[in-house]
């Protein structure tokens, strides 16, 4: 007779290959003592057999398990029966729909305005897509909040509550997936088709939206049903068997997507190629989908996650690249030309790729049961190999992202620096300098990144790089001695210009040098000091630059008032003065944040030190501060708030010795300087 044990043994035989292929990952946390290949293989095989025995034994018991679930549901429903639960579910959905309707009604104004936003540049397109996401996702979340409040308020038993929350979570997840698919694919014809993240026609967009939504909804509700039967008492074996049966639905949806013919081409164009039985791609994809289900059903989760990464990572990277390039594509200018590719598009594309690769590594480590923290403390060959590989991969990803950003920035700058008619002579020279230096700097940046990333990756893998560096140093010594200063100045100047660290007319400070930038050449910058001196500073020795003419300046002052002063009144007066200054027609435009009191800074020997701050435009802080100080002095005098200063009180007899001692004490106090402000 063909027993269940025999069936489990035969089905578990493929796990031998997995254990041999991945012996380092076959060890389970439950078997810390297993060290040899045979013991690892035996442990994996034994677990596989136990797993299949549990599944096979659950097959004849599945009807009885569902009957037990039904009895548990009836018992949990109480005296009112299932009808009361159904009415509660209807009430939850109705309240959720009402809250969603109220949210859509409240956001009707922004919904109308979002369609009126003209798309003149990339930020306009991103604004439209972001508003769509906020409004549509917000509506689904409003529905979820309304339904969840009613669900929590219901006086159901704990199993019914848990099952209801699981089903509500599945419903909300499916609706969120639908909202995101609509935003990304734009399956409806109309002017919003230009906002789609993928370059698909309407038919293809509708197809992918419906199939992907079906896949996500089946997965979400399958998970919810499994969670519900678990809390209602279904045994573990029955849960697994039921989950595997529901998994066949996912396989069916995936195969339907694989073998669905392409949408017909528009009239007048060649008919698109259809999927046929002669193509190897659909067959390979179908076999892959079936293998996924079989590996999952076999309980071989390390192999399952390995296949997930191997198959899903290229698909994810390709999808992210296609979406980022289409959604962040340059906007067509009024003259019909396309704007240069945005650096944001490159950053998003490369960043998504790096994030997907790092996420795939995390999935593999988690699926294989590898603890990165534990590996960091081990010194065996395998641990060092894993650590080195991870570090090297991160270094390569960072270097690739840096080079992509540098290249995109250089290309955009070169496109904007092309010669044009009607420009001033200085602008023509500046653009010519950029066109001359930037390609050289871009190539230098590539060489530097490749060399540095290569050396760092080799060092992370455990390779001794000292001989390589020494060999390279011998070659560079001959050139380095003679040209290092000039090359350093030129490269430093190029990076200063790329970083836009300063512009002509701005006031900067670097070390002991400060002044207004008058001009800069290939290797130096000229600063005009406020007293008239002109500094010519090579870029190589310029160092860190403090630019005092950008964006805003924060002014912080500290004043001391007497201990008998009303601090609250002083705070109100300072705030009132700040508001008056902000309304001043001459000084108001220069104030970005009005004057206000931050509080008591410290208690001094003879004063309460209070701190004030305000934000102004660069270069305007001196005029505003002088006006504010005058207004504070006048307001404090009118309201009886006194500024503190050192005083001496004399008491005692009138003999000469006491008078001399008092005079000496007074002189000492008068010479004492107040504590400097923080």
What's 69-102 look like in SS3? HHHHHHHHHCCCHHHHHHHHHHHHHHHHHHHHHH
Q: Which residue has the higher pLDDT, 74 or 24?
A: 74
Helices and strands (H, E) in the chain, number of each type: 19, 8
Band the pLDDT of 174: cuts 50, 70, 90: very high
Q: Which residue has the higher pLDDT, 331 or 670?
A: 331
88-109 burial, b at 16+ Cβ within 10 Å, e below that, comes to: bbeebbebbeebbeebeeebee
Secondary structure letter of residue 588 according to DSSP: G
Q: How far apart are CA 420 and CA 429, in angstroms?
A: 12
Q: How far apart are CA 673 and CA 669, in angstroms?
A: 9
3-state secondary structure 279-318: CHHHHHHHHHHHHHHHHHHCCCHHHHHHHHHHHHHHHHHH
Band the pLDDT of 140: cuts 50, 70, 90: very high
Structure tokens at 85: 């639960």
Burial of residue 662 (CB within 10 Å: 0-12, 13-18, 19+) is middle
Structure tokens at 211: 């199939």
Q: Which residue has the higher pLDDT, 613 or 493?
A: 613
Which helix (H) or strand (E) segment holds residue 486: the answer is helix 466-499
Torsion angle of alpha carbons 272, 215, 345, 394, nearest 10°? -120
Q: How far apart are CA 172 and CA 142, in angstroms?
A: 10
Percent of the chain with pLDDT over 90: 6
> Which pLDDT value is given to residue 4?
37
Express each pLDDT in 26-79 by its tens digit. Answer: 333 444 444 445 665 676 667 767 767 777 777 787 788 788 788 887 777 765
| 230 pLDDT more than 90 | no
Instruction: Flag the least confident range among 274-278, 314-318, 495-499.
Output: 274-278
Torsion angle of alpha carbons 105, 106, 109, 113, nearest 10°? -90
Question: Considering only CA atoms, which of 417, 360, 65 is closest in space to residue 242?
Answer: 65
> Which pLDDT value is given to residue 175?
92
Q: How far apart are CA 436 and CA 635, in angstroms?
A: 60
In what side-by-side order are the strands of the sheet with 591-603? Answer: 553-561, 608-616, 591-603
As a residue count, the chain comes to: 678
Instruction: Check: CB of residue 581 under 8 Å from CB of residue 628.
Output: yes
> Which pLDDT value is given to residue 177?
92
> Which pLDDT value is given to residue 94?
92
> Which pLDDT value is given to residue 8?
36
Which helix (H) or strand (E) segment holds residue 335: the answer is none
Q: Which CATH number does the domain 553-645 belong to among 3.30.479.30, 3.90.1170.50, 1.10.10.10, 3.30.70.100? A: 3.30.70.100
Instruction: Flag the least confident range among 7-16, 320-329, 357-366, 451-460.
Output: 7-16
Burial of residue 61 (CB within 10 Å: 0-12, 13-18, 19+) is middle
pTM value? 0.55
Average pLDDT over residues 181-198: 84
Average pLDDT over residues 625-639: 87
Question: Considering only CA atoms, which of 678, 543, 658 is closest in space to residue 600?
Answer: 678
Express each pLDDT in 376-421 by its tens digit. Answer: 556 666 666 766 777 788 888 888 888 888 887 887 777 777 766 6
Average pLDDT over residues 112-120: 74
> Which pLDDT value is given to residue 471?
62
Backbone angles phi, psi at 648, to 5 degrees: -130, 130
Sequence ranges of the chain with CATH classification 3.30.70.100? 553-645
Instruction: Check: CB of residue 61 under 8 Å from CB of residue 238.
Output: yes
Q: How many CA atoms lie within 13 A of 93 on its CB side?
A: 9
Q: How far apart are CA 307 and CA 21, in angstroms?
A: 13
Express each pLDDT in 510-539 by its tens digit. Answer: 888 888 887 777 678 888 888 888 888 888
Q: Which residue has the higher pLDDT, 300 or 533?
A: 533
Express each pLDDT in 561-579 by its tens digit. Answer: 888 888 888 888 888 888 8
Percent of the chain with pLDDT over 70: 74
Q: How far apart are CA 547 and CA 551, in angstroms?
A: 10
> Which pLDDT value is given to residue 7?
34
Largest CA distance in the chain: 127
Band the pLDDT of 172: cuts 50, 70, 90: very high
Q: Which residue has the higher pLDDT, 621 or 22?
A: 621
| 102 pLDDT more than 90 | yes
Q: How far apart are CA 381 and CA 390, in angstroms?
A: 14
> Which pLDDT value is given to residue 265?
38
> Which pLDDT value is given to residue 21?
35
| 423 pLDDT more than 90 | no
517 strand-pairing partners: 527
Structure tokens at 30: 């439950």
Structure tokens at 419: 């010669």
Question: Considering only CA atoms, which of 258, 342, 335 is closest in space to residue 292?
Answer: 258
Band the pLDDT of 370: cuts 50, 70, 90: low
Band the pLDDT of 300: cuts 50, 70, 90: confident
Express each pLDDT in 215-229 by its tens digit. Answer: 999 999 988 888 888
Q: What is the mean pLDDT of the chain?
A: 75
Average pLDDT over residues 438-463: 78
């Amino acid at each position: 007779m063909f027993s269940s044990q025999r069936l489990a043994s035969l089905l578990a035989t493929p796990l031998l290959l997995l254990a041999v292929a991945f012996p380092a990952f076959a060890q389970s946390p439950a078997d810390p003592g297993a060290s040899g290949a045979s013991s690892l293989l035996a442990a994996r095989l034994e677990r596989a057999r136990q797993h299949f025995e549990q599944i096979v034994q659950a097959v004849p018991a599945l009807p009885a398990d569902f009957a037990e679930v039904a009895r548990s549901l009836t018992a949990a429903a109480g005296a009112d029966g299932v009808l009361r639960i159904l009415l509660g579910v209807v009430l939850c959905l109705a309240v959720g729909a009402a809250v969603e309707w109220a949210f859509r009604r409240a956001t009707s104004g922004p919904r109308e305005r979002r369609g009126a936003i003209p798309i003149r540049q990339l930020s306009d397109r991103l604004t439209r897509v972001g508003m769509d996401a906020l409004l549509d996702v917000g509506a689904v979340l409003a529905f979820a909040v309304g339904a969840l409040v009613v669900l929590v308020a219901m006086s159901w038993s704990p199993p019914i509550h848990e099952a209801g929350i699981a089903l509500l979570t599945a419903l909300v997840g499916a609706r969120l997936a639908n909202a995101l698919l609509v935003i990304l694919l734009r399956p409806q014809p109309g002017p919003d088709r230009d906002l789609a993240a993928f370059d698909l026609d309407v038919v293809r967009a509708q197809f992918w939206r419906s199939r992907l939504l079906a896949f996500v909804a089946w997965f979400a509700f399958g998970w919810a049903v499994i969670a519900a039967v678990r809390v209602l008492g279904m045994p573990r074996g029955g849960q697994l068997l039921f989950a595997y049966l529901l998994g066949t639905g996912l396989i069916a949806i995936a195969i339907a997507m694989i073998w669905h013919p392409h949408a017909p081409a528009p009239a007048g164009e060649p008919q698109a190629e259809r999927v046929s039985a002669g193509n190897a791609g659909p067959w390979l994809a179908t076999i892959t989908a079936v293998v996924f289900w079989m590996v999952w059903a076999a309980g071989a989760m390390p192999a399952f996650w390995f296949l997930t990464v191997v198959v899903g990572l290229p698909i994810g990277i390709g999808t992210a690249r296609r979406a980022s390039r289409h959604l962040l594509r340059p906007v067509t200018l009024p003259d019909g030309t396309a704007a240069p590719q945005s650096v944001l598009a490159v950053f998003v594309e490369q960043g998504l790729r790096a994030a997907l690769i790092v996420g795939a590594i995390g999935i593999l480590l988690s699926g294989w049961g590898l603890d990165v923290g534990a590996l960091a403390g081990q010194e065996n060959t395998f641990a060092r190999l894993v650590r080195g590989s991870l570090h090297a991969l991160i270094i390569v990803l960072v270097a690739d992202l840096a080079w992509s950003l540098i290249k995109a920035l250089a290309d955009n700058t070169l496109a904007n620096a092309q010669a044009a008619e009607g420009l001033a002579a200085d602008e023509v020279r500046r653009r010519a300098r950029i066109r001359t230096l930037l390609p050289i700097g871009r190539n230098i940046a590539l060489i530097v990144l490749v060399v540095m990333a290569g050396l760092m990756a080799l060092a992370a893998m455990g390779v001794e790089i000292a001989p390589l560096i020494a060999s390279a140093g011998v070659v560079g010594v001959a050139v380095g001695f003679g040209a290092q200063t000039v090359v350093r100045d030129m490269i430093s100047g190029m990076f200063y210009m790329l970083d836009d660290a300063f512009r002509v007319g701005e006031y900067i400070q670097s070390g002991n040098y400060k002044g207004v930038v008058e001009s800069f050449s290939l290797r130096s910058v000229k600063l005009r000091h406020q007293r008239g001196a002109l500094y010519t500073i090579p870029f190589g020795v310029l160092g860190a630059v403090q630019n005092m003419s950008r964006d805003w300046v924060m002014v912080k002052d500290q004043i001391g008032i007497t201990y008998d002063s009303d601090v609250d009144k002083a705070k109100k007066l300072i705030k009132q003065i700040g508001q008056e200054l902000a309304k001043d027609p001459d000084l108001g435009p220069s104030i970005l944040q009005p004057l206000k009191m931050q509080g008591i800074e410290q208690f001094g020997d003879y004063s309460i030190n209070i701190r004030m701050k305000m934000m102004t435009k660069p270069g305007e802080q001196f005029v505003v501060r002088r006006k504010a100080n005058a207004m504070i002095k006048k307001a404090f005098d009118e309201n009886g708030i006194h500024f503190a200063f050192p005083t001496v009180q004399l008491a005692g007899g009138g003999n000469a010795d006491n008078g001399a001692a008092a005079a000496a004490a007074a002189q000492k106090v008068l010479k004492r300087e107040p504590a400097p402000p923080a």
